Amino acid sequence: MLDHIFLSVRDVDRAVAFYTAALAPLGIAHSHDYDGRDGPPGHPDLKGFGAKGRVFFWLRQGEPQGRAVHVGFIANGPAEVDAAYAAAMAAGATDNGAPGARLYYDPRYYAANVFDPDGTSLEFVYKSWQHA
């Protein structure tokens, strides 16, 4: 299981606004800022997003790798997938697959895909068999 990921973005303020809107339907919020001066030499400033007491998704200023990265965010049902997709599109995402079943994976795999403003591939996904 992953603990965290750092994602490089061209414009941190724009990215924070985008991810704040796009991840809100999933219960993920901008919850912590880290001053890189508090870490070892060269540590970047970070903007952290998380849920349920965990910060696991971090943004940092840098050169995005665009489509070299794909990040999947867990949704708690198809309605959350739909809401996250709509929020991301309203916040400036580019469509990469409207909400629906991904039958090529499994009939119970429901997802939506977008590219963030820097071209990073995002997926909002509900896999019913992975929820209690």
Domain ranges of the chain: 5-130
Q: Check whether 67 has a pLDDT greater than 90.
A: no
Look up the pTM and report it.
0.94
CATH code 3.10.180.10 for 5-130: yes
Mean pLDDT calculated for residue range 9-17: 98
What is the pLDDT of the chain when averaged over all its residues? 96
| pLDDT interval class at 66 (50, 70, 90) | confident
**Contact partners, residue 100, CB within 8 Å, separation at least 6:** 110, 111, 112
